Every structure is written in structure tokens, then in C-alpha cells.
Structure 1
Amino acid sequence: MFPFYFSHNLFLHLIYRPDSTLVDKIVKDILKKLDCRSSSANLKGLVGIERRTQQLVSLFQVGDFLKLGIWGMQGIGKTKLAEAIFYHVLNGFQNHSFLANVREHEESRNLSQLRKKFLSDILEDENLDISTPTIIPSFVKDMLSRKKVLVVYDDVSELSQFEFLFGGIDRFGRGSLVIVTTRNKQVLFQCGMNLIYEAKKLNKYESIQLFCQHAFKSNHPIKYQLGLSRMVLSFANGNPLAIKFFGSSLYGKNKNYQESAVKDLKQIPNPDILKLLRSSFDGLNPVEKDIFLDIACFFKGEDRDFVTRIMEACYPSAYSRIENLIDKSLIYISQNKIEMHDIWQHVGRSIVHYESPSKPETRSRLWIPEEIYDVLTKNNGTETITGIVLDMSKLAKLELEPVAFMKMRKLRILKFYHSCGRTLLLKGLLSLPDDLRYLCWEGYPLKTLPSTFHPRYLVELDMSCSHVEQLWEGKQDLVDLKVINLKNSKNLVRIPDLSSATNLEKINFCGCFNLRELPSSLQHLEKLTLLDFSYCRSIRSLPSFYKATSLTKLHLSGCSNLFSFPEVSSNVTELWLGGTAIEEVPSSIECLSNLRLLDLRGCRRLKSLPTGIHKLKSLEKFNLGDCSRLETFPEILDIMKRLRDLDLSGTVLKELPSSIHNLIGLKYLRLNNCENLVCLPDSLYTLKSLLHLSLCGSSNLVVENLFTAIGDRPVKQKHLPWLSSLKKLDLSESNLENLPTTIKQFPLLEELILRKCKRLKSLPELPPSLVYLDAHDCTSLEDVSSIKKLFEQELFCEDGSNRFLQLKFSNCFKLGEKCVGNDIDAYDSTSVEEVSSIKNLLKQVVFCKSLGWLFTNCFQLDQKAVRSPETPKLEMPFEHMVTALTDHLQAPPRRKNRIKKASLGRIIVTCVPGSEIPEWFDFKSLGSSINIQLPSEWWSNNSWINFPCFVASVAVSFPDSYNADCQITCSSYMMVSMLGSLLEVRHQTIVFTMWLPFISTLMSGIRLNAR
């Protein structure tokens, strides 16, 4: 018999049907539509679904055949999102079919039933049966190609599943929509999806709402539940399945049970959630399983290149296996680090735990300090153990016997970190496993590695801060070794023969103070890319690295007894030679055509530079800071396009070369503390790319006329556009009395630093682009009236920019009551009111979008000193920020509209002298939280105007030192709820740096815009 049968009778059956069949079809069609409505209603109210659905539907193009792929980790909400889209758009299609759990149907050998359902839904014939496993008849394909259909294939794991279900994905008519959900991103590429969307985890607001719905049957937690919620949500990290699971497990339990269960969340493996998620792990091949478990137990959050290097030494094809884990949403890359959701780490570690729940010595991997302690101190190690990673800070000390690792012959990964003298090997160490690929032992206590250890397979050796004097005697087979790190091993006196380490890429001996000589074998390592001998103070000479053609980075900073410039190949890109005893730079340096960074800072014997510096065409950063004997900088005889950062601070230069204009790409020029520098060349004005100019502490440089005359010659008007590219200007510790008025002509200037300009008396009108002004310790400063224009601009700014205006006038002892002049015209541009205090200026600041203040040590602004009969309510400047809201509500509509057009403020910060919280604060608390009950009328019409402003204040005590830098970080969490629904949770962190010898009051105002 033929495997399937079809003839013209099938077509007749489709066209001519008895009445009973037609009635059945109508009834089923009605029931189907009712079911769709019910299912659609069930999806309403699902946290986060509606927003994501609208986001994706907005991308659909009418008339196109769209193939949408949704991928992500298990439990992230792919199926719910596909369902929501399905019911949102299904009315626009002739037929539709939702095929759920494709992977499970294949595993249960039931995929043919799913295909039958698909054909029945689309062709509307329940009797149509195609028994061939791989072939769909051509007439069925033709019918499919004429239909505009909506199909969802949920949880697809293999391309072959598509081929079986309907012979490919491109079988439908114009305007059709096919949605595929999968854990494996690669499947979507294979199927030719033209729109791929990664399902996103819930944000913190959605997470807490979903958790509270399942744990407490409410939309927000009460006080004691807030801590529980934070712990669970930190672990679930936005995964809806995990949030619902943990929330449901807490529902109906008493407080003690809930608190106990949450504390055990990460420590005790949960078999229920393990069962839910185990299928993703079971679908991996053996190598992928091992890599997944290694990452879960040891390498989460580690550098991707590092993990790949270790995994490639342990398993075949590790690089591609890691890529597969990424595609299957089990791991992901963030800032070149391998990351894994906490849930998957929990799953991986649970799998290892259940290898032997009561006997850790028979598990494959150990990471729990207490278990490792027991295994090592009792010498219970076995061949089963392949990896040990121990955080020694969790143990007081660890005393090992010489045979501690004798039985662990298959140990591949051994890492002891945060040791700091906690590991004791009083009787020595007889052996380490020869199968080791990665050996990291911070603070290794012995003078050498065991003589019986043969590191044939070792890929990375990390023994920073160790007591090693030399690694081993004689020559070892090191063919797989790629990285050696003995940083800060202060007892190290010699490096062994490394000639057999032909694959060695990185060597780090930074801070090995007693290391005197380097082996000549280093110069023959053809794959070596990084050499770091920084602060090896005993090194006096170096071998030639001219033949090490792969070497790109050489670090020798702090080698204070190194007198000779190193010989390197032209492939070197970075040379760090700061703090060495080098007296001259050889002319041959011009041959380093790939050199991008040359650091000679602190080379106090260096007197001059070769004339061929301009030939370093790749040079991007050149640091000569604190070269205290450098008197001249050579002429730049040719254009240097790439040099963008030049630091000449602390030199004894008397002048800059007139050819500085050839540095056409220069962005950062630092001339700090150049006490012999008197003037700047006119050619400086032609540096079109210059963004930052720093002249701090160059006390003999004439800066009063910086923008109007240099070298006693007027600056031509045509030069001004080039200077206008400046974004940051630092004139700190100069002796200028007044800034030139032409500073306002530089519209890109954002930062102006005037710290410790002791003679500065006033500020001119500043450029409107300014966002940061630091006038700390300008003890003669009396007039800052010009800053009011910055307020006006900030107040009525409508361009939507995210500016944060910061003004610092700390230690400005003369900045007092009559320092401002005219008030800001906050309401009416035709009227200007004369005021007598900076406090009235502050009164308007509440409406600024973002504004930071620091008025520390301005004694005339002390909250108690400013009280007077005329201003009885104005106890401190910040009170104006609160009372201004009331004034605004009483203002005429014309005034309100001007403010409404602006983006109303979020946060304003100030600091003034004081020792107590103001009396006028309505709500006070000595704890770390405070509840504020808002009046019911705040959510009325024009709610944007009625939403209140909050002012938080804290009193901080400082040490008795005027010169002490004291930094404070204030973190706040504001949770807003209404009618039982969580509206917003806002986190704000503010950092202050102050120089106070007494108690100060620190305040911040937060205004939340109601939507």
C-alpha cells in the first residue's frame, strides 16, 4: 500500500459537505473563538507582558511575511509573550494555530500528532491525515501558500522539527506571521528568521509586583516583607518562573518560616526548581555539560578569554561549546565576562551537590569552604575531584599535611585566593597533581613548588603575593603554559629557564623587588605579547627583546635602577618606563612605527628628547609628567595626526615649540605645575581638536589675558573658533584676579576649574554650556552674580538634555549676603526684582531639572547666622526649595505655563554649615527608613503640579582638619504606591567630597514627576 492516499474525492470532501458537518464546523468555530477570547483575557494583567507585546507588534510591517524568533533562557517568559502576541493579532488572519511544547512532543515521540493539529487548524479539516514522516504532499503545500496564517511554534530545539511539521517555514501566503520560541538562538538563524528578539528579564518594578502577587497576594510588600522580597528578587534576577516559584512557596506561611526559607535560598539546593529546569541541562552533550558545571561552580563573572583558555586546555572544541551555551541562553557575555543567571548557577551547583549529597570528597567539584576544609585537612581527597576553588577569607586558617593532594590525580583546577597567610604548610608539600591545567595559589607559603610536580599540562600559573624564591630547579616541559603571574612575590630572586614554554603569551612579575636578572630565554619566546616587570627595583639590565616580534606591551615603570632604554621590535604598541633611571631616549625610537603609548612620567634624570619624535606616527598618548629636568620639547617637524594626549606637567619647560600646531589631533594638553612656563605660543590657538587644557599650578603663566592676549599680542578674532572647541579648562592655583569676559564666547566649555585661585574676586558671565564650576577655596571671591544666567537657562531649558549643573563654592569665606545681585526672573521676563541674598536665588532653583550645589564653609550662609526679623521663616537656603512650590501654585497661569514647559526638577543637592536637622521638617526618623502618608488630594487634576517635593537631610561630623578630603555617599530608595499598586521604586546615590572641620547638614531634594 502507498503510505498515503489522495484523489479528487478529497477535494470533493472539502467542497461538498452535508449540513450536519457544516453545523458542527460552525459550532466548533464559535467555541474556538470563545476559547481565544478566554485565553486572551487570562493573559491580561500578566506583569510586563503588555509592554513587551506592544513593543514587538509595533515592529510588524503590514503585508509582509514576517518570521519572528523569540529566544531566551528557560522560564524567562518566551511562551507567555508569544501567546500575548498571538491573541493580540489573530483577528487579522484567515487561520491560526498555536503549537505548544514542540520539544516535549518530539521527546515523547508524538510529533506527528502535533503536525495533524497544525494541518487541521490551518486547513480546517480534522480528517486530513498524512502518514509520511518527512514528506508533505504538494497539494497541501499549495493550499498553505495561498493562506494568510498565524502560527506559533513554541519551544523548538532543532531545525528538523520544522521540516517534519510542514516541510519548511516559507510555505505560507503573503501577510502571514510565524512566531518561533526557543532556548537555542542558533535555531532561529537556521530557520531564516527576519526578526529575532531576546526575551528580557523583568525589571525591578515588575519583579517585585509579580513576587508580591504570588507570595502575599498583593501588589506591594509590607515592612517586614520588604527585606524578604529584596533577597528573593536578588536571587531570581528578573526570571518570572523563579519569581513565581519562590513566591508561591512562601504564600500562606508564617513570618518565621518565610525568613528561614529565604535565608536558605542559595545554600540548600531546591529539588523542585531543579526538576523544572533540568531539561535544558540534559539536552547538552557531555563536553557542554562539563563546561557548564565548571562555569557554575568556578568561573561565573570571570574574563571570557581567561575562561576560554582554561576550558580549551580541559576539553576538546571548548570555544565552540561555549558559543553553544551562549546560544542556548545558559550563559551570556557582559563586558567580556562570562555571566550566568543565578538560577542557572543554582541548577549547576545543585547537580554537582546531588552527585554525592553526604560525601563531598566524591563529588567532581568543590567550592564551599567548609567542605573543602574537611576534605583537605582529613586527607579525604579522591580521583573524582576535578576542581577546587577556595575563598580563604571564609576560613581562619588552613593547615595542610604534605600528602593533602596525593590522591587527587585527576585534579585539573586548583585555586586558593584571598589567602594572606591563612594557608599553612608547616611540613612542606610532597606533591601536586600533574594533571593540573590551572594552578592559582595566592600567598603560596613555601619557597618552591614540589620537586615531584611536573607541570606538563599547565596552562596558567598564578602565584601572586607568594613566598616563592624560585619556582623549580632545572628545566621543565612547559609546552602548554600560556600565562605566568607571580606579581608581588617579594622573595623571588630568579626566573627558571622558560625556553620550553613556546606558547607563553603573558608574564607578570610586577612588584618582585628582589628579582635581579632575567633569563635570556625570554627573548626567544615568539608568542609573548605582554611582559610586566613594573617596580622590580633590583633589575639593572634587560635582555634584548628585538626578536620577540609578538611582544606588544612592555611594562617597566618603577624599575628605579634601570638606566638603559630597552631594545624592542617595531611591533611594540605600549612602553611603560615611568620612574626609571633613563637619562636619554635613543634616536632609534623613531623606528617604533606601531608605538601608541609612551609613558616616561617621573623619569627625573631625563633632560631631553630626540628630534625624531615626530616620526612616531602611531603615537596616541605621550606622558612626560614630573620629568623634573626636562627643559625643552623638540620641534614637531611634521604633522602627527594620532597624538591626542600630551602631559608635560611638572617639567621645567620655559616654552612650548611654535610647531605645536602640527599636533592636529591633540585633545588633552596638561601643563600643570610648569613653574618656568611664562607664556603660550600663538599656534596653540590653531589646535582645532583641543578639548581639555589644564594649567593648574603654573604660577608664573600669565592667565588674566588668556583669551585676549598671549605674549603681549592680541588674539585675532579668526582664532576664536578654534579655542571654542574647549570643553574643560583648569586654571586652578593661578594668580588671576578676574576672568576675561570673552570666556563666554566659548559655547562648548562644560567644565571650569578655579580651585585655590586666592586672588580671584569675581566671575564674569559664563558660557551657557557650562555644567560644572569648581571654585573651592577661592578665599577672595565676593561676586558670583553672573551664575544667575546659568539658572535661567536651566530653569527654562526645553531641549530635553540630561544636564546636571554643579557649582562648588566651598571655603569661599567672603561669599556672603550681597554676592548675587539681581534675582532670577523665574516668572516674568519683563520684571526684575532686586534682592539682597543668595538665598532668594536658591528659592527659584527647585524648578531646575538637575542642579548640584556645594556651599561648604561659607560661614556667612550658616543656617543660624542668616536669621533676621525680615526673614523669620528662612532658616536655611534649602527651605526656599520647598516653599517655592507653594509660591508657584499661587502664581498666575501665565507663570505656571512657563515652568510647565520645562522638565521639572528631580534632584537638587546642597551642603551648608550646621549641626542639626531643621525644625521645619514635617517627618523625622532616627532609623534607616521613613513612611510618608500623602494627602488624598495630591492625585487630583493637574497632578503634575500637586506632586510634592521631598527634602532629605542628614547631619555629618567631620575630623578636625581643614585639608582632609572626606567623601560621603548617600543612597536612598523611594517606594511610591497608590491604591495598593506599586507605582515606582527609585534609587538615588549622591556622592559629596568636602573639607569640613565641623558638623554639617547635608540635604537633597527629590521631586518625582507624576505621570
Structure 2
Amino acid sequence: MRMQRLRFLKFYSSRYYKGKKENDKVQIREEFEELPDELRYLHWHRYPLKSLPSKFNPENLVDLQMHHSNVEHLWNENQYNLEKLRRIDLRHSQHLTEIPNLSGASNLQTIVLNGCSRITKFPKISWNIKELRLSQTVIEEVPSAAIECLNQLVSLELNDCIRLKNLPSNIRNLTSLMELSLQGCSSITQFPDISASVNSLSLGETAVEEVPSSIERLTNLSYLSLEKCMRLRRVSDSIFKLKSLAYVLLSGCSKLNDLPEVLETEGKLRWLYLDRTAIESLPNNICNLKSLSSLDLSGCFGVDKMLEDLPLSSSSGLFSLKELNLCKCNLSTLPSDLSCLSFLESLNVSGNNFESLSLEPFSCLTRLNISHCKRLQSVQEFPVLSRLLDLQAHHCISLETLPTSDLVFTGNWNSQHIFIYYNCLKLDANARVNIMANAQLRIQVMATKAHGTASLEDYLEDNIEGYSVSFCFPGNEIPEWFRHQRRGSAVVIKLPPDWCSTKFLGFALLCCSCIRGL
């Protein structure tokens, strides 16, 4: 209270949690009445009182952030001059019932009230607001009169506002609006009529039943999410006329059984997620989507026929496809036509019914997931092993054999190598030897690559997470090339005096656990 010239005050914890009082390291008395009037920046996680001090004048305040606070109101309805105020962030302040009239805060650009579950009314705010986040509040309407002047608004977030039923028609006049998110607004039944300026629209878990033809007005739309719209039955073919559209997420739309024809082929569509839908066939001209890089069909039954009916070929328009997800599609074999997609970099076929699998055609794979293929007994051919950086094969409980592949260093190594064979308890001795040889060579090549850098500082700067090789597979023996070994939960290694020189890169660590009865 004696720091009258204090301008910056921050009590912050990177690990604050709601309801855990033991994490509150800053305690203040109830008679706390003052903060310096010169304060510009106030950031106080879990602020414990019901309001700001009664004698505090916020006229110099620029930035106010009090996440997970106990405030019920900020200050009395005095007509303070709030022209300096730029940002208010009170997210997860669950006792907050309202915020003061901010219509006079002409420079206020950001308000975040996410998780303020007692806020029932749309705030009174200035025309100059750019970012308004009201997710998980209980507002029932966005008043037409309140929104008509918000011609600078760029981002409006109303996720999980379960009492919100409609948006006012004049939201279409907000020509600066670029991001609208209504995720989880389960009472919203109509596709919103919004400005063509919007480039990101999230309607997941709403009650929308149709994507109308009027969507073709949204010429700037790049991202469209309709995830888990359980009532969605129809998507207009106008959706593929949008040349800016890059991401379409229809995951979990369980009543959607038809995808419209692709009327335009010059668009930028990159991600198409159709997982867990009822779609039975794909339009043939989907192959003309020249920019499509990620296709998710996981959880869709009849995928084998769906893909066989497509005119796939090495010259197919899907030559940009890099990621294909066929998880849990009830497949017993891979569709033969997939062999022409040799340029795939990521393939997920987990949770299927394969007994044997050959992956030789997919020579560009860097990520492969065959986890939970419980009938899989053998993998006959891997893709080019030196390219593979992430292999997930956990819970392949019948897997016995893996191919013998010579690993040749190609010079193109990523920073993270992960190979997981967890709970593959039937792997034979040859498979385990091959896995360990693969691990040893990758560690050696990784160390060689790191050793070739100019300095340890350069190495760490280029690779913030550091190079790493991780393998997990069943076994109970430690190879001899791990020189420091002992039973128990700890090992002591004596480092040489010059261990901190640039030649020291790290450790190769192996933990072996043998549990009887498994």
C-alpha cells in the first residue's frame, strides 16, 4: 500500500488449479482496501477477495487478468474514466455474476469471461472491442442492440453456452468478424447467417441439421467444424465451391450418410475428416481434390468397398494425400487399390482384423499405427525402415513375427523416434533381436548426427526438445552394450571430469522389468 508508484503487479503460477487451496501461496487480509492508483498491469491468479479494493481507482489500468478468482464483482458502478483499459481476463471466476458497464472503455480490445458460469447477460461493451470470449457462461441471448455497433469485432467465442438458442440477424453486418465459435451450444438449431468475412466457423456439438446452400456466400471460409453434430443429415454441395476452404471436420456426425459431389476442383481443401459418420460412399470426383493431404475415414464401415469404387491410380488427383486414417474400419485386408498411394507419410490402420500385413508399397511412411490389431500375427514387409520415425504397435497381442530389414542411414532423420510394441508378448526371439538392433543403430546414428554440429549450444538451439530414440517392447535381458547395469531402481554412473564438454550428448537408458504371470 506504500508503493504509490507501483505500475506492474503479478502473482502467477504455471500450475494453478481451481479448488486446490494449498496452491494459494499469496494470502491477504479481508481489510485489504488499497492498491496503488498508478497500477497499469494487474495479473493475480486465484485472487481471493470478492472485489477489488474499495479505494482503488482503475483509471490507469491497462491490463487486468485474474484467472480462477473469487471476485463477485470488480468495482462499484462509479463512472471511472477507463480509456486506458485494453484487456480484461477473468476466466473461470465462477462467483462473478456481472461485470461493470464498459461502454465507455473506448480502447478496450479483449474481454475473456470463459468459464464464468454465473454470467447471465451479454456485457455492455465499447464499439472498439476486437476479441470477446464468453464460453461456458449461461447467457441466453446476444441482444441485437448490443451487437449492432461492434463493427471492429474480429473474434466471438460462445462455446458451451447451452442456453443460447439463436444469434441476432444483424450479426451478418459484422464485416470485421473472422472467427465465430459456437462449439457445444446444444440449443443452436440453425446454421448461422454471418458475414462473408468469417474464415473460421465452429459448430460442433450443436443441433444443426443442415449445411444450407447459402454457405457459398462465405468466400473467405477456411475452417469449418461440425464435429459431433448428431442431427446433421445434409451438407449442401455448395461447400465444395468454397475455394478458400482448407479444413472440413464432420467427425461423429452419425446421421450423415451422404457426401455431396465435388463441384469445384481448384479449391484448397487439405483436411477432410469423415470419421464415425454413416457415409457409405465417396463421390468419384473426390480424387480431383488436388490439395487434399489428410483423409480420416476411421470408424466407417464398408471402407474397403468405398475405396475400391474410387478411380485410384498413381496419377490420381490424390497425389497430395499424406495422411490416411482407417482405424476401426472392420478391415481384414488392406484394399488393393491403396498400393498406388505410395506417397503416404502417415497411415493408421489400428483396431482392424488383419491376420497378416504387408506394407511394402508405402515407401514414404514416417508414421505407422497398427495398434490393437488383436488378430495380427505377422508383418511381412515394412516400408523403407530408415524413413519410419513413429511406429505404434501396442496391444497387438497375437503378433509373433516382424520382417528382417536392413536399416540404412539416409541422412534424413527427425528429432523424435518412437517405436512402441507394448503388450506384444508373443514376439519371437528374432523379432526382439531385430527391434534391439534397430534401436542400437538409431541411437548411434543420432549421436553421430548430433556430434557433427558445431557446438552443443547449436545442437540444443536447433532441437528444443532434443534428439531422442524411444523403444518399448517385451523382454527381460539387457544387452551387453549397456555397460552400467544393476538390479533395483537406481544406477550410479561416474562421469569423467570433462563430461560437460561438447562431446557429451546424453545417455542411452534401458529399464527392464520382469513380472511373473504376464
Q: TM-score range by the shorter chain?
A: 0.7 to 0.9
Distance 1:543 1:989, change over 3 A: farther
Instruction: Name which of 34, 41, 65 aligns with 1:413.
Output: 41
- The equivalent of 1:391 in structure 2 is 12
- The equivalent of 1:757 in structure 2 is 373
Q: Normalization by structure 1: what TM-score?
A: 0.43
- The equivalent of 1:293 in structure 2 is none
Distance 2:505 2:197 in 1: 50
Deviation, 1:703, is 5.4
Distance 2:123 2:223 in 1: 30
Distance 2:444 2:185 in 1: 46
Does the aligned pair in 2 maintain the 1:594–1:619 contact within 8 Å? yes
Unmatched segments (≥5 aa) in structure 2: 14-22, 446-466
Distance 2:196 2:328 in 1: 38
Instruction: Name which of 785, 803, 815 aligns with 2:427.
Output: 815
Q: Deviations over 1:750-783 (max 9, x none)?
A: 3332112222222222221434433322233233
Distance 1:926 1:384 in 2: 58
Aligned residue type for 1:568:
I
- The equivalent of 1:547 in structure 2 is 173
Work out which structure has the larger RCO, using CA pairs closer than 8 Å and 6 or more positions apart in sequence: 2
Which sits farther off after the overlay, 385-394 or 632-641?
A: 385-394
Deviation, 1:489, is 0.6
Instruction: Name which of 426, 442, 452 aligns with 1:849.
Output: 442
Instruction: Name which of 41, 48, 60 aligns with 1:423.
Output: 48
SS at match of 2:391: strand
Distance 1:592 1:432, change over 3 A: same
Distance 1:773 1:409, change over 3 A: closer
Instruction: Name which of 307, 310, 328 aligns with 1:682.
Output: 310
- The equivalent of 2:413 in structure 1 is 802
Root-mean-square deviation (CA), in Å? Answer: 3.6
- The equivalent of 2:333 in structure 1 is 704
Deviation, 1:746, is 3.0
**1:732 has 2:350 as partner:** yes
Distance 1:808 1:485 in 2: 41
Deviation, 1:846, is 7.1
Instruction: Name which of 283, 292, 295 aligns with 1:669.
Output: 295
Aligned residue type for 2:503:
E
1:104-143 correspondence runs (5 A): none
Aligned residue type for 1:773:
L
Does the aligned pair in 1 maintain the 2:191–2:208 contact within 8 Å? yes
**1:463 has 2:90 as partner:** yes
Distance 1:749 1:445, change over 3 A: closer
1:374-385 correspondence runs (5 A): 380-381=1-2, 383-385=4-6
- The equivalent of 2:407 in structure 1 is 793
Distance 2:63 2:286 in 1: 51
- The equivalent of 2:70 in structure 1 is 445
Deviation, 1:623, is 0.2
Does the aligned pair in 2 maintain the 1:976–1:982 contact within 8 Å? no
SS at match of 1:589: helix
- The equivalent of 2:459 in structure 1 is none
1:105-504 correspondence runs (5 A): 380-381=1-2, 383-391=4-12, 395-401=25-31, 403-405=33-35, 408-417=36-45, 419=46, 423-425=48-50, 429=54, 431-450=56-75, 451-452=77-78, 454=80, 455-466=82-93, 467-472=95-100, 476-498=103-125, 501-504=126-129
Deviation, 1:537, is 1.4
Distance 1:990 1:656, change over 3 A: farther
- The equivalent of 1:986 in structure 2 is 505
Q: Deviations over 1:704-763 (max 9, x none)?
A: 25125x8xxxxxxxxx6x5111111111111222225xx423321233321122222222
Aligned residue type for 2:319:
K
Deviation, 1:930, is 2.6
Q: Deviations over 1:976-1001 (max 9, x none)?
A: 545x9945343469899x9x99599x
Distance 2:37 2:439 in 1: 69
Deviation, 1:539, is 0.9
- The equivalent of 1:649 in structure 2 is 275
Distance 1:991 1:550 in 2: 56
Does the aligned pair in 2 maintain the 1:402–1:430 contact within 8 Å? no
SS at match of 1:850: helix
- The equivalent of 1:580 in structure 2 is 206
Deviation, 1:671, is 0.4
Distance 2:186 2:206 in 1: 4
Does the aligned pair in 1 maintain the 2:324–2:347 contact within 8 Å? yes
Q: Deviations over 1:876-911 (max 9, x none)?
A: xxxxxxxxxxxxxxxxxxxxxxxxxxxxx9967454
Does the aligned pair in 2 maintain the 1:471–1:495 contact within 8 Å? no
- The equivalent of 1:142 in structure 2 is none
Distance 1:927 1:847 in 2: 23
Deviation, 1:472, is 2.2
- The equivalent of 2:474 in structure 1 is 912
Deviation, 1:560, is 1.3
Distance 1:616 1:458 in 2: 39
Does the aligned pair in 2 maintain the 1:976–1:985 contact within 8 Å? no
- Equivalent pairs counted in the alignment come to 474
Aligned residue type for 1:657:
P
Distance 1:386 1:453, change over 3 A: farther
- The equivalent of 2:493 in structure 1 is 931
Does the aligned pair in 2 maintain the 1:523–1:543 contact within 8 Å? no
SS at match of 1:434: helix
- The equivalent of 1:1003 in structure 2 is none
Deviation, 1:806, is 4.7
Does the aligned pair in 2 maintain the 1:652–1:677 contact within 8 Å? no
Distance 1:760 1:485, change over 3 A: same
1:837-876 correspondence runs (5 A): 838=431, 841=434, 844-845=437-438, 848-850=441-443
Deviation, 1:812, is 2.7
Does the aligned pair in 2 maintain the 1:774–1:807 contact within 8 Å? yes
Does the aligned pair in 1 maintain the 2:295–2:323 contact within 8 Å? yes
Q: Normalization by structure 2: what TM-score?
A: 0.81
Q: Deviations over 1:466-490 (max 9, x none)?
A: 22211125x7412111111111111
Distance 1:976 1:583, change over 3 A: farther
Aligned residue type for 1:487:
N
Distance 2:115 2:365 in 1: 43
Does the aligned pair in 1 maintain the 2:417–2:470 contact within 8 Å? no
Distance 2:438 2:303 in 1: 41
1:825-974 correspondence runs (5 A): 838=431, 841=434, 844-845=437-438, 848-850=441-443, 909-912=471-474, 924=486, 930-932=492-494
Structure with the largest fraction of helix:
1
Does the aligned pair in 2 maintain the 1:515–1:538 contact within 8 Å? yes
SS at match of 1:546: helix
Does the aligned pair in 2 maintain the 1:481–1:503 contact within 8 Å? yes
Distance 2:193 2:380 in 1: 54
SS at match of 2:219: coil
Instruction: Name which of 118, 141, 165 aligns with 1:517.
Output: 141
Does the aligned pair in 1 maintain the 2:420–2:472 contact within 8 Å? no
Deviation, 1:916, is 11
Distance 1:490 1:915, change over 3 A: farther
Deviation, 1:922, is 5.2
SS at match of 2:286: helix
**1:773 has 2:292 as partner:** no
Deviation, 1:607, is 0.7
SS at match of 2:382: coil
Deviation, 1:552, is 0.5
Instruction: Name which of 315, 323, 328 aligns with 1:692.
Output: 323
Deviation, 1:684, is 4.2
Aligned residue type for 2:96:
V
- The equivalent of 2:284 in structure 1 is 658
